[in-house]
Structure 1
Amino acid sequence: MILLRTLAVLVLSVMLFSADRIDAAEQEYRLASGDTILIHVFGEDELNMQVRLDATGVINYPFLGRVHVEGVSVYELESRLTRGLQDGYIKSPQVNVSIVEHRPFFIEGEVKKPGGYPFMPGLTIRKAVSLAGGFTEYATRQSFYVVYEKPAGRSSVNVGVDAPIGPGDSITVGKSIFYISGEVNKPDGYPCRPGLTMREAISLAGGLTERASERKIDIISKDGTERAVEDDVMSTKIESGDSIRVKQSFF
């Protein structure tokens, strides 16, 4: 019995903590073009409306006319509407504003379903990729290019897979690929996963030809410089953007 009570208290605590986090996120969230909101005034059906915000940053609301909504939180909008309705229209209006659907974020590049998707609180790169159908086989898994939409303007940065994403942000998932040419059976570009070795790279390319030299292999990194190989050539780690050339053996 004591164990059940303890579990119940823990579950309730987690629920309250999650609710507090969601409430805090909604307080920080700023409305903008693309958001869909629902305005409900208790007992005043003619004042209830659902509207998708457009680029003008204003809505036309009964009695009040044009109301500016760009850049305010739902709580600030509630206060703005309440004050306006109290000013000669309704004695004690009970106004509630909620977000029906957040404006989208965008993801492109090496994901299976690139496009725009509705933002949700707590969104990260990892979750965004999942919404977009997951990575393609050529996708990088380590660094992602994001253009952040902020009130002060846009900024761009490379981030990791657990970086937070906001509404209006644009994510680009780049390629992780290496190239191999020369004395291999299938010279081409192939996906470069973390930890890939020379032996595995050659295997992806169909193996060495009969004329190949296992010791005469060059690697040119993506910045154009030649990269040293290990004494055990086949254990050399391959990096994204590397170009491998397998030379002939003359003996």
Structure 2
Amino acid sequence: MKKNNFLKMFVTGLLMVISMSSSASQLYAQTKDSLKTDALSQIRADRKIRPGDILDVVVYGHDELPKQIKVEADGTIKYPFMKDIKVDGMSVEQLTNILSARLSQYIGGRAEVIVAYAKDEMIEVIVLGSVVQPGSHKIPRNHTIQGAIATAGGATVRSDLDRTKLIRINPETSLREEIEVPMVSIIVETGDIRKLPALRDGDVIFVPSIYGAVYANVLGAVGKPGNYELFPGANLVDVIFLAGGPKDDASIRTVKLIRRIGVAQTEEIVDVEAVLKAKGGSVPLVQPGDIVFVPAKKFTLKTIFQVLSYAATILTLIFLSKQAGLL
């Protein structure tokens, strides 16, 4: 048990050092483009082929053969003499050798083959919580959560990587699902960072804080309205995605942040769409007791009653506080 805990602490520190290195010093700022290029080259060298990958294939002297192939959902490829071979999990070098061996049996002489990943298809994900640069980020398709966090500037010193959450749309049900991803535990137990979930376009990654939490209320056109824990530094975007993210009919350009100050109440309207595009620009922080209201493009009776019910609760609390002489 002690050994396992030590490993978790070591891996946590290692992940944070790796992910935070993008902002470690002025020297890095001057050379970050070359470092990113080197890192991407290393990722490609270690990368394993996965379903959905698109590969460029060149067989010298045989232009009749397919020049680009896509890895099918079952891990196979539609290529001559390769239909019975699963390439899922192979490296490009392994696939190159197998293709060369297979084709050499049929074309007369050794087949000279080159296989490479086609130009990386980029997807857009949202990284929130205890990261250096929360917001929307573009990453190569099939990157893992760790890669997305690194792209967002890395985890902060207060991050709890073992409670990372992945929020995405289930393509079969069209419903939002929330997946717990204990990053440190997965790496300690498997020793393989590739065991972390590959990301899809539109995924949301939330990295919580190690510190204690308080609560704010999120209402309106979100996946799961209700009370949600806050962490130090939690902002408006963090809280919205804690509540399942905006629904398809949400008007995220007019989100309301409602705050009670004594018997008074303030209301700030925030353009969340602009905030996400700004990648970590000025985002209002959320305080305990705040109400975040995400309006729908068209109000429904359910939404109206939801807001009225919560407003009535606040008014009742104010009235009782006055009666008790607390206000």
Smaller-chain TM-score range? 0.3 to 0.5
* TM-score w.r.t. length of structure 2: 0.39
Structure of larger gyration radius: 1
Greater per-residue strand proportion: 1
Greater per-residue helix proportion: 2
